[in-house]
Amino acid sequence: MAKNTKSAKKSHKRPKKSAMSRAKKLVTIVTKPIYLAVLIVAAIIYYYVFYYLITSSNYGLFLLTVPIYLLYTLVITSALLLTIAVSSIHGGIKYGRAITGSVSGSIILLAGGTIASCACTVPIFVSLLYIVGATVADVTLINFYISTYQLYLFSALILANIALIYHYLGRL
């Protein structure tokens, strides 16, 4: 008798999770007091990091060149990414699950601060461009490009955060 080999094989694919199950997972994470505290503290810290980036490049003035709602959206999505990472680490330690998350939210927030303040004039950023071989004309062109398309670049960073949130919630 030949056994059916198809039924004997086990699928190693993860079942697809719907957007609703991801939303429920996000609500479950955010409604726990410890993770809510992480979210609030991360949002405050991220806002002040953003504030520092802008004021340091504008001689102490908080001159925001993108709409304020985009700033808050970037801060909140970055804080959500950090909260999901902390939840994943906690679940990985407590329940032996795989750890999901990264520092991408922090990196995206720093990039957003650079774009929103047009911090291309910050000496550290310019020095980094010179190290990679950029000339004065290249730095000026990059500064012009960031200034011209900063609204679109900022929106792309927010969409990247949202995509990462969706991805990481599917892995939890």
Mean per-residue pLDDT for 86-93?
76
- Site of tokens 């694919």: 13
Task: Select the more confidently predicted residue: 160 or 139.
Answer: 160
pLDDT above 70: residue 113: no
Mean local confidence (pLDDT), 125-147: 78
Amino acid occupying residue 61: L
**Residue 57 pLDDT greater than 90, yes or no:** no
Phi, psi of 100 (to 5 degrees): -120, 140
Q: Where are the alpha helices (DSSP H) in the chain?
A: 5-8, 19-31, 33-57, 68-95, 104-116, 123-131, 136-148, 150-171
The radius of gyration of the chain from alpha carbons, rounded to an integer in Å, stands at: 21
Percent of the chain with pLDDT over 90: 8
Higher pLDDT, 8 or 29: 29
Query: How confident is residue 39, by pLDDT bands cut at 50, 70 and 90?
Result: very high
Please give the pLDDT value at position 51: 84
Percent of the chain surpassing pLDDT 70: 67
Q: Which of these ranges, 72-86, 116-130, 156-170, has the smallest mean pLDDT?
A: 116-130
Quick one: pLDDT at residue 2?
A: 52
Task: Give residue 104's pLDDT.
Answer: 62
